Amino acid sequence: MNETTIVKRGAGILGERLPSGWAQSVSAGSARQRGQIDAVLTLTGPDGTQALVMVEAKARVFPRDAPELKRRLEGFSADPAIVMTDFLTPSSRRRLKEEGLNYLDLTGNVRLSLSRPGLFIETEGAITDPSPAEKLGRSLRGAKAGRIVRALCDFPPPLAITEVATKAGVDISYASRLVEWLANEGSLTRARRGPVESVDRARMIRRWADDYSVLRSNDARSFLDPRGVENLLRSLPKIRFRYAVTGSFAANRLAPVAPARLAMVYVDDPDEAARALKLTPTEAGANAMLLAPFDDVVFDRPRVDDGVTYVAPSQAAVDLLTSPGRSPAEGEAVLEWMARNQDK
């Protein structure tokens, strides 16, 4: 879809979302802006106050494009700007918002914030691309993708693609394709046909959380330890099968937010583990959750603290970001810890 069509359709979508009393018109960029700005939106408030909004239309926007778009748009004009495109993934919208950019896609994902005249619009459209280009996008669903994310987050760069593939236990061609896609997502930087040079671990884990869910991706079962959750933690080092604690208890060892009340533990066989730990299955009032993992990577590179084995920070973070209640806030605290401890 060309830029002219995107601007025309985008202006129509925005017009449908303007509050009563507002009006808009669309014009080509001025002589000063021609060849740099695709169009200019003139938005008029109920009191007659106007705002000029520069329009940058693109067929596709990747998360890694956001910083450059901001630099370009700020160089054109001090007026506010909006990025219009066919479709924006959740990670693209998140990255544009981080850069303070307005956006609109043709499925109805819109964010527009103006200070004068005062206006704020934020609506949601499609989450997945209704017309995906063949082989253009990928996702982080599945075991192989999870192993690659964990490898990129757990081992310091630079990392050759062969190293990524080896550490993740996947074939080189898959690793290369996914790393290139992650570069487009803005989660890492890679030299042309060379190694991974840097990894934004927080951004990568948040992107992983778009496609992964600790309760859906794993076989999660609820239990009650009638002697209390602390008893469960004391019992874990005594069992003879592998395990790894995740969730709030793992977070509290790194970045405490609030007292933990639910122990989430990865085990190979929840039924066997429940018998060994003397846990009672329950639908309500659970203080323990046993998870048969989506992949063995959850046991890789654990941390041992006071004799208890905890998952790696990268695994704890994604598990918390995709858990209910206050867990996402705990996940963000773990990501902040990881940013302060790049070598851990």
Average pLDDT, the chain: 92
What was the pLDDT predicted at 277?
A: 96
Asked if residue 294 lies in contact with residue 315, where contact means CB atoms within 8 angstroms, the answer is no
What digits encode the pLDDT tens for the residues 156-183? 999 999 999 999 999 999 999 999 999 9
- Please list the residues that pair with 43 across neighbouring strands: 24, 51
pLDDT band at 136 (very low <50, low <70, confident <90, very high): very low
Q: What is the rounded CA–CA span in Å between residue 34 and residue 54?
A: 11
Provide the whole-model pTM.
0.72
pLDDT (0 to 100) of residue 1:
63
Q: Sheet harboring 102-105: ordered strands across?
A: 23-27, 39-44, 50-58, 81-85, 102-105, 110-114, 119-123
Burial of 138 (0-12, 13-18, 19+ CB in 10 A): middle
CB-based contact 236:243 (threshold 8 Å):
yes
Domains and CATH numbers, the chain: 3-123 (3.40.1350), 143-211 (1.10.10.10), 214-340 (3.30.460)
The CA distance from 248 to 118, in Å, is 41
Q: 277-309, pLDDT tens digit by residue?
A: 999 999 889 999 999 999 999 999 999 999 999
